[in-house]
Each structure stands twice: as C-alpha cells, then as structure tokens.
C-alpha cells in the first residue's frame, strides 16, 4: 500500500497554504465574533433559516416549501424572494438545513426562548467550513494548473478577499459561499473527469468517485441558489470540449452526475415527491433580464463591488488581461477557461440585479483568481521575473495589510 503521508502531499507548500487558510479562518471568525458580541440573538434572516431548518430536521414542514406564516418568525420575511404561496424561489431547503444542523441537540424551548451566548456561533460554523474548503479547492486547482507560485498567488488573493471573508462569516450577507464552492467544484471536476477519458479504461465505472464528486458539487451549487443551474450545461460543455474523442463516455458521465445531483437535491426535501415537485415548479431557475445592461449605475455598482471584493485585482487583473491579449503564450486552456467562466458569472450578476446576482459575483472571484495567478505565473518565468516578482509580491503584501487593517476597525 502506498504511503499517504508523503512529502509530495504534506510538504512545505502545503504548510504555507495551511497557514494562509488558518489566517482566512481567523479573519472570518473575527467578523463573527464582532457581529455576535453582545448580540441578543440571530438577525431575522438567520432566525428564519434556523427555525425552518430545525423544524425540518425534527420531522416538521420542509423548509422554504413553503415557509409557514406563523408567530415563530419574529417579523416579515420580505428579505426572501418567495412565491405567492410562500415557496422560497431562490433556495432549496439545503441552506436552512445547513444553518440549523449544528443546533440539532437543542430542545425546542431553547430556540423558542432565543439563542444566546456560544450557541450563536453554531449556525455560522458550516459556512466557515465551506469558506476554508473553497480556499483549499482553489489552492489545489491553482497549484495543479500554475505550480506552487500560482497556487500561492491565488490563495493569497482568496484569503484576504473582504467578500470571501464576509461570505464565510455570513457577515451582513446571504449565505452564498456554498453556491460559490459548488460552482467552482462543478467546473473543475468536470474538467478533471474529461482529462481521465483519455485513459484506456471502462471510463464510466472507473470514474465513479469523480461522478459522485461532480454530482455533489452540482447539488451544492443548485441547491443553495437555483439560478446557479447554469453550471449544469457548462459542465457538459467542458466534458465534450476537453475530451472530443470520447464524447459518448463524457455524455454518459454527465448524465450519471446529473442523476446523482438530482437525487441529492431530492434528499434536501427529505424525499417528499409532491413537495419536491412544487418546490421545483416555484423555483426561479432563470431570472435574467436585459434591463441591467442599459443602466450605467449597474455597471458602476458591479465595478465597485468587484473592486471592493479584492482590491489587489484592481492592479493585477488589468495586468493579466493585457498580458493575455498581447502574449500568445498565455492564451491556453488553463487560463482561458477560468477567464471565460469568471467574466460569464459577472455578466450573469449584471443580468440578475435582484435574484442571485450577488451569488454570481461572489462565484466569479475564484475563477478570476485562477486566471490572474496563471498569467502572473507565466510572467514570472520570463527574463524580467525579478522585477515582476517584486511588483506582484509587493501588491499582495500591501493587499494583505490593507485587509487586516480593515478587519481591525471592525469591533463588537
């Protein structure tokens, strides 16, 4: 049996990546502490998720399908996009179940009297974990595509991104980090599966682990944001494009993964066929509109949100984009694919000004980080690498310091 704890798996690069992810976790935990310090209880959106999810876990009504209008909710639920019959049109029960899962041991009387003290942390733990896991996934992909240097750049951009930290802490925002992780996992798992199709094996059976992983990623993406269903056809496109010689096998793998993802989505409704059907008929899978493209203020808002999400990208993305256009060496699949997905998600963010737009903008960031890290890693292999390295690492160091200083100003 091959050794698992090898230097290749657990060497110096993994140590540095682990330290960056630890810093990311501490940043998000600081935001959670600052928000919950002295708090009397969860805010209204979180209280709705906790109550509905806890009920479903304990055999009550399926969360969000529909949301019951009773006194257990301390106010209106206007913050949610709901249909006329009360169904959550943006999310499946997944977000509710994940939020309430750490509180399963609590009796109903504790929830009725209001959460307090350390219990306030528990609903945030799953999202903190998702943030760390997305960062680990980003590191793995960037390192495979761009080497250790590219992995460090991508992970540094991620770990000090204010938007990623806020999303993982669910700090005055919706829990969109699951959708971002699911979308990222779907695209790059599909690409990884496609590359294995060149091996002379019974590909469908041989890839059952990756099929399962792809199905889980699809379920996470669509289950946490219905409009993220766009990743389902995108996964097929990448499967067919990367492995054109085995398109039948790619289609079979995609169908199997969609089946797995559909079953998992069904399981979020605890296998109630009627409720599942009604939830799907009320779901808003496509709410894109062209109106946002005609309003200059929308572009300004998206630009401001993107710049605020990662200030270092204000310098690094134009550099990477110009280099990509002028230098043919950088125009290969490993750079082009994440660029297209990232820009596509930004476009969908503009097209969804009210429903799912913020989720698409958040989901675009890991792909754009991969693109920037890939191009900059190419630049670092030129004869001007010392000058370029000084500039890039200087920008990243200033970016990290700026983010930490901003966090220091947040106090409970």
The 3-state DSSP class for residue 263 equals: helix
Q: Cα–Cα distance between 298 and 292 in angstroms, integer? A: 6
The 3-state DSSP class for residue 88 equals: strand
The 3-state DSSP class for residue 410 equals: coil
Query: What is residue 107's DSSP assignment?
Result: -
What local confidence, expressed as pLDDT, does residue 125 receive? 95
Q: Which residue from 302, 286, 287 is spatially nearest to 346, judged by alpha carbons?
A: 302
Do residues 21 and 132 make contact, with C-beta atoms less than 8 angstroms apart? yes
pLDDT in tens, 250-260: 899 999 999 99
Is the pLDDT at 219 greater than 90, yes or no? yes
Residues 6+ positions from 175 with CB-CB distance below 8 Å: 49, 95, 98, 99, 127, 167, 224
Do residues 75 and 46 make contact, with C-beta atoms less than 8 angstroms apart? no
pLDDT in tens, 331-383: 999 999 999 999 999 999 888 776 667 789 999 999 999 999 999 999 999 89
Do residues 137 and 24 make contact, with C-beta atoms less than 8 angstroms apart? no
Per-residue DSSP letters for 159-213?
HT-HHHHHHHHT-SS---HHHHHHHHHHHHHHHHHHHHTTSSS-HHHHTHHHHHH
Do residues 373 and 146 make contact, with C-beta atoms less than 8 angstroms apart? yes
Q: pTM for the full model?
A: 0.92
Do residues 95 and 49 make contact, with C-beta atoms less than 8 angstroms apart? yes
pLDDT in tens, 173-205: 888 999 999 999 999 999 999 988 876 666 566
């Amino acid at each position: 049996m091959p050794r698992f704890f090898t230097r290749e798996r657990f060497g110096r690069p993994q140590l540095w990546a682990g330290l960056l992810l630890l810093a990311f976790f501490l940043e998000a935990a600081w935001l959670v502490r600052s928000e919950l310090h002295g708090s009397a209880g969860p805010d209204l959106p979180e209280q709705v998720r906790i109550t509905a999810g806890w009920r479903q876990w304990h055999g009550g009504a399926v969360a969000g399908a529909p949301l019951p209008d009773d006194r257990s909710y301390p106010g209106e639920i206007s913050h949610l996009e709901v249909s006329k019959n009360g169904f959550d049109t943006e999310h499946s029960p997944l977000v509710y179940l994940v939020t309430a899962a750490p509180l399963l041991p609590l009796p109903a009387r504790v929830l009725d009297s209001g959460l307090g003290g350390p219990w306030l942390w528990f609903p945030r733990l799953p999202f903190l974990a998702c943030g760390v896991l997305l960062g680990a996934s980003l590191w793995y992909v960037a390192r495979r595509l761009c080497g250790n240097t590219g992995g460090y750049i991508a992970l540094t951009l991620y770990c000090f991104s204010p938007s990623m930290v806020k999303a993982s802490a669910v700090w005055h925002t919706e829990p969109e980090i699951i959708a971002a992780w699911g979308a990222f996992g779907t695209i790059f798992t599909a690409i990884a599966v496609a590359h294995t199709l060149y091996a002379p094996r019974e590909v469908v059976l041989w890839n059952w682990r990756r099929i399962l992983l792809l199905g889980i990623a699809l379920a996470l993406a669509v289950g946490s944001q219905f409009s993220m269903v766009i990743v389902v056809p995108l996964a097929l496109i990448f499967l067919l494009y990367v492995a054109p010689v085995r398109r039948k096998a790619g289609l079979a793998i995609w169908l199997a993964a969609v089946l797995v993802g559909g079953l998992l989505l069904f399981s979020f409704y605890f296998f109630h066929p009627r409720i599942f059907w009604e939830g799907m008929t009320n779901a808003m899978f496509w709410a894109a509109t062209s109106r946002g493209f005609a309003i200059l203020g929308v572009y300004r808002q998206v630009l401001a949100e993107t710049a605020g999400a990662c200030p270092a990208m204000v310098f690094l993305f134009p550099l990477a984009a110009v280099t990509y256009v002028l230098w043919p060496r950088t125009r290969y699949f490993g750079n082009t694919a994440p660029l297209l997905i990232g820009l596509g998600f930004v476009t969908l963010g503009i097209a969804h000004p009210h429903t799912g737009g913020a989720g698409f903008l958040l989901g675009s960031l890991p792909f754009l980080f991969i693109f920037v890290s890939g191009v900059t890693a190419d630049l670092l292999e030129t004869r001007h690498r010392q000058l370029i390295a000084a500039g890039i690492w200087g920008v990243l160091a200033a970016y990290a310091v700026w983010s930490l200083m901003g966090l220091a100003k947040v106090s409970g």
